[in-house]
Amino acid sequence: MKIPITLKINGEVHDVVVEPNQTLLDVLREELALTGSKKGCDSGVCGACTVIVDGKPVLGCMTLAVRCQDREILTIEGLSQNGRLHPLQQAAIDHNAVQCGFCTPGWILSAKALLENTPRPTREDIRQGIAGNICRCTGYKKIEEAIMAAADKK
């Protein structure tokens, strides 16, 4: 059973036809070529597929696309505005918080959701906020510093 749905992604409306068993991550990557969201574990553990749905960070691999009808989805592709990087993206570069880069889209979106709720986070808040984003290069300290710096600039 194919179902036509409307996805609002990064401010744009996309009409797609999906199978009920397709995950949001697969639709983003395979149907819409938005490959910024990464497929890591595909089992809800690593956080590489984190996207923001209605202001909350969720896992693209654990969300069925068909359940996202008319919800506001933000992926890493929609973060920069008019060619200017988001402060979190700039801070990631400035603080060398990117190594292999695979976890980067995920933790940046987790951090964005954290800063919306907690504009002045403590280090503990940051650690809790990105606890679901695994960085196998283990560059957590730099990631923490980048988020701290981005929060200070806000």
Partner 1 sequence: MKLPNFDYATPGSVSECCELLKEHGSTAIPVAGGTDLMMALKNWLKTPTLLVDLCSIPALNGITERKDGGLNIGALVTLYHLTEHDLVQKKYPVLAKAARDVGSRQLQSMGTIGGNLCQDTCCLYYNRPPMLRQALGPCLKLGGDTCHAVRGSNNCWATYCGDLAPVLMVLNAAVRISDAAGDTVIPVQQLFSGDGSRPCALETGQVVTEIQLPAPTAYSAAVYLKMRIRKSIDYPLLGVALHLALLSDKKTVGNIALALTAVEKAPIMITAAEGLNGKIITDDLIDELAEAAYKKAHPINNTYGYTPGYRKNMARTYVKAAMHQSIDLATGDGGAA
Residues in contact with partner 1 by the rule CB under 8 A: 1, 3, 19-23, 42-45, 47, 50, 56-59, 61-64, 66-67, 110, 113-114, 117, 128-133
Q: How far is the CB of 63 from partner 1 (least distance, A)?
A: 7
Burial, 67: exposed, middle or buried (Cβ in 10 Å; 0-12, 13-18, 19+)? exposed
Cβ closest to partner 1, residue 114 vs residue 150:
114
Distance CA 102, CA 33 (A): 17
Residues 6+ apart with CB under 8 A from 138: none
Which residue lies nearer to partner 1 by CB, 89 or 110?
110
Nearest CA among 50, 31, 56, 143 for reference residue 93: 143
In the complex, least distance from residue 66 CB atom to partner 1, rounded to whole angstroms: 5
If the CB atoms of residues 59 and 98 are measured against partner 1, the closer one turns out to be: 59
Q: How far is the CB of 96 from partner 1 (least distance, A)?
A: 23
How near is the Cβ of 84 to partner 1 at its closest, in Å?
A: 27
Residue 112 to residues 23, 43, 60, 84, Cα–Cα distance (Å): 23, 23, 16, 16
- The answer to whether residues 88 and 75 touch, using CB atoms and an 8 Å cutoff, is no
- The smaller minimum CB distance to partner 1, of residues 105 and 129, is found at 129
